[in-house]
Structure 1
Amino acid sequence: MKKVKVGIVGLGRLGRKHAGNLAFRIPHCELTAVCSVVEEEVQEVMDAWNIPYGYTKYEDMLANPELDAIFIASPSNFHCEQIKQALSLGFHVFSEKPLGLYVEEALDVETAVKAHPDQVFMLGFMRRYDRSYMAAKEKIEAGIIGKPFLIRCYGLDPASKMDSFLTFARANYSGGLFLDMSIHDFDLARWYLGEEAKEVWAIGGSYARPEFDEIEDAETGAAMVRFENNAIGIFVAGRNCAHGYHIETEIIGTKGTLRIGTVPERNQVVIMKDEGVIQECVDGFLERFEQAYLSETEEFINCILDKRKPAITVKDGVQSTILGYSCKKSFETGRLIQVKTEKIIQG
């Protein structure tokens, strides 16, 4: 079977994980080119993994005629333009979340994707490929908890990562707490409830690190969302989780409740000693969702080979961006935001 030749842009923490999966863990796939503005990163990966092509300019990589697909793991503010460039040149495209930092640019990407129906486009909402989240979806569809009417999501990053995030945020790469972190939870809510958001109210602040106030972002924030069918969403996101990386989701239905990740355990080992009973926690998203990142990348390659489209569509990216941007506006203004209005009015 023909191998899909892929070029990846972005070699940060997540980009390096994706690159490794593409190079060594995905059947019928060949990581042919790597690109980063940091020349040392490019050279290191090329030398260590025997990658034939390396670039510091994205446009130079797109000119490589050997490539079939582009994998985008660059900072969030580059996604939209890089997606459109790659699609216009005939490539299949995978992009990390979010689709865009602003509603208008997300809608531009949706138009571009629709203009290239023969190319595969996939967005990196990897939790849909996590075994636990997939099992929850199957149980909801089977009616195990009745009709779901409330979803509660916690997305808490380790406190130890705050310094590195502040560097990232000051460079205007993140889009703010809700677009950067809660975007996965917004996608899950739409997926589980089968509804779009109607209105949101978001609050937040800086509690351990006042630097977040200086960049007009929240260290920790919360949003309450009303969906079209009157279902409720409660979303908490934070950068200051003392015990590690904590992702927890609860779906309450008319006949029962599902919970995923209540204890963010690293493994099944329990340590018992004079300090008490200890379960070690995962310390980051790469560890918690290792299987999901691999599975979503494998799905992207298989979609190209099988000439089919992934279940995650560009619309999922657009609608999650609309909701994330609405939460950002509510946080910044203190107002209740009508989500449908945010599709048109961003100011």
Structure 2
Amino acid sequence: MKKIVKFGIVGLGRLGRAHAENIAFKIPNAKLIAVCSIDEREVEEVQNSWGIEYGYTDYDEMLKNKNLDAIFVSSPSGYHCEQIKKALDAGFHVFSEKPLGLYLEDALEAMEAVNSHNDKIFMLGFMRRYDRSYAYAKKKIEEGHIGKPVLIRCYGLDPAPAMEGFLKFAKNSYSGGLFLDMAIHDIDLARWYMDSEIDKVWAIGGAYEYPEFNELNDAETGAAMAKFKNGTMGIFVAGRNCAHGYHIETEIIGTKGTLRIGTTPDKNLVTVFDDRGINKECAGGFLERFEDAYLQEVKEFVDCVLNNKKPNVTVEDGVLSTIAGYAFKESFETGELVEVKYLETVNI
């Protein structure tokens, strides 16, 4: 049995660089031996700084490297599906960042590719399931501590200082919109906690401070109510203009109790007492808030490759969340209640 999984990573942006660093330095039984980016300077900088053996600006060339065991896809979202399929066809295990695809047709093609390569391990980066607090809440639900979950409330709010960068990106690339790009994590968590698929959804939202969102046919802040197939309920709030920081909060109300995760988005356990009063600083972004979760999910993937077992997050999770996300988007754009239409090819 192999003792080390040798990785090549494509995409060295902010999140890709963090993943690359985790693989290179923080995960036992994992080794980063190849990096790929269309930016030659990024490739050279990482190679020289970390002593990485192989560097590429052409993804197809990296896939010819037979010293690799697995490909980590952390490129812009629009490339995920094609790169997943190519990596599987080339004989590699694949870990892909979310989303599975920006378009449902692409996500379904990726699912078909994954399912036609059953000998390969595939995992999708829904990292919140690997956050210690979220995993602990799931355990409490399974142990019956709150009875039957009947309602989930999810807040996903990006920090206001990130707005300029996001608008610049969104005007040049298709992000999928607020519900597919941001709320997709909350949709996945809701499916996981409520143990059911979303049946109907009604979404609203608007551009309240930044009219540029109207031009993008997107919402600066949006909200949705959902009914699950098992009759339970969901409330989702997503926004890109949170003044106090990166605010991710989840509440699960059950018949015998309630769980809350992240009620205040604390940066750490320090409380500051000064002339402003009593203050706690907030997390500044997703890399800071979910730093450990990003590490734990890849550890899980490595363990699955080494022991030939399937991860808990599957390609179907990506497809089902995408289907629900498109229903959210449709409801926001039309103002109508939307019934989520699942496909016979996807098990629910």
Normalised to the residue count of structure 1, the TM-score between the two structures is 0.97
1-structure distance, mates of 2:44, 2:12: 11
Does the CA-based 8 Å contact 1:2-1:28 persist in structure 2? yes
Match of 1:296 in 2: 297
2:59 aligned with 1:58, yes or no? Answer: yes
Match of 1:258 in 2: 259
Deviation at 1:2, TM superposition (A): 3.0
1-structure distance, mates of 2:221, 2:242: 10
2:298 aligned with 1:321, yes or no? Answer: no
Does the CA-based 8 Å contact 2:201-2:340 persist in structure 1? yes
How many percent identity over aligned positions? 66
Match of 2:231 in 1: 230
Deviation at 1:124, TM superposition (A): 0.2
Residues 42-53 of structure 1: pairs in structure 2 closer than 5 A: 42-53=43-54
Residues 10-25 of structure 1: pairs in structure 2 closer than 5 A: 10-25=11-26
Return closer, same or farther for 1:207/1:291 CA change in 2, 3 Å cut-off: same
1-structure distance, mates of 2:9, 2:272: 41
Q: Look up the equivalent residue of 2:106 and give its one-letter code.
A: E
2-structure distance, mates of 1:168, 1:223: 25
Q: Give deviations 1:204-239, integer Å, cap 9, x for gaps.
A: 111111111111111111111110011111111111
Match of 1:169 in 2: 170
Does the CA-based 8 Å contact 2:124-2:315 persist in structure 1? yes
Q: Give deviations 1:258-299, integer Å, cap 9, x for gaps.
A: 000001111111112222211000101111111100000111
2:204 aligned with 1:200, yes or no? Answer: no
Does the CA-based 8 Å contact 2:323-2:342 persist in structure 1? no
Q: Look up the equivalent residue of 1:249 and give its one-letter code.
A: T
Does the CA-based 8 Å contact 2:74-2:97 persist in structure 1? yes
2-structure distance, mates of 1:217, 1:41: 32
Q: Look up the equivalent residue of 1:248 and give its one-letter code.
A: E
Query: Which has the higher mean CA deviation after the structures are superposed, 207-216 or 143-152?
Result: 207-216
Match of 2:101 in 1: 100
Structure 1 unaligned blocks of 5 or more? none
Match of 1:153 in 2: 154
Q: Look up the equivalent residue of 2:175 and give its one-letter code.
A: S
2-structure distance, mates of 1:133, 1:142: 14
1-structure distance, mates of 2:147, 2:162: 39
Does the CA-based 8 Å contact 1:76-1:175 persist in structure 2? no
Q: Look up the equivalent residue of 1:49 and give its one-letter code.
A: W
1-structure distance, mates of 2:262, 2:232: 22
Match of 1:179 in 2: 180
2-structure distance, mates of 1:140, 1:302: 25
Q: Which runs of 4+ in 1 moved over 2 A?
A: 341-344
Return closer, same or farther for 1:138/1:71 CA change in 2, 3 Å cut-off: same
Match of 2:248 in 1: 247
2-structure distance, mates of 1:174, 1:142: 38
Match of 1:136 in 2: 137
Normalised to the residue count of structure 2, the TM-score between the two structures is 0.96
Q: Give deviations 1:87-122, integer Å, cap 9, x for gaps.
A: 111110000011112222211111111100110000
Structure 2 unaligned blocks of 5 or more? none
Query: Which has the higher mean CA deviation after the structures are superposed, 274-283 or 153-162?
Result: 274-283
Q: Give deviations 1:46-94, integer Å, cap 9, x for gaps.
A: 1111111111121111111111100001111111111111111111000
Does the CA-based 8 Å contact 1:120-1:309 persist in structure 2? yes
Give the number of equivalent residue pairs. Answer: 344
Match of 1:37 in 2: 38
1-structure distance, mates of 2:334, 2:55: 44
Does the CA-based 8 Å contact 1:98-1:317 persist in structure 2? yes
2-structure distance, mates of 1:332, 1:219: 13
Deviation at 1:171, TM superposition (A): 2.4
Match of 1:337 in 2: 338
2-structure distance, mates of 1:195, 1:83: 27
Deviation at 1:342, TM superposition (A): 8.0
Q: Look up the equivalent residue of 1:107 and give its one-letter code.
A: L
2-structure distance, mates of 1:294, 1:341: 32
Q: Give deviations 1:116-143, integer Å, cap 9, x for gaps.
A: 0110000000011110001000000111
Q: Look up the equivalent residue of 2:282 and give its one-letter code.
A: C
